[in-house]
Amino acid sequence: CWRRYLFLCAKVRQNPTPELIKAISKEQFLMQGLISYLPNCRHMKMTEKLSAARWSMMSAESLCPLKK
């Protein structure tokens, strides 16, 4: 979920669209449900875990604003 979210953020920075912002919002919602499992995830570095927790709480629009 975290890596898919990072991929979407990179993609939206290249070509920001409302559909991608919506997809990011959906991934954030999924990540919020997974935060309690982060301490047990052995395949993620601590920095990744902290970033995942922090980014899941930010709005998609603030992370990847659409250019007007």
Model confidence pLDDT, tens digit, residues 16-59: 788 887 887 888 788 778 778 878 888 888 888 888 777 777 76
| Spatial distance between the Cα atoms of 46 and 24, rounded to a whole number of angstroms | 22
Query: Which pLDDT score is estimated for 54?
Result: 79
Domain extent listing, the chain: 2-59
pLDDT value of position 63: 62
> How large is the average pLDDT for residues 1-28?
79
46 alpha carbon, distance to own chain's centre = 16
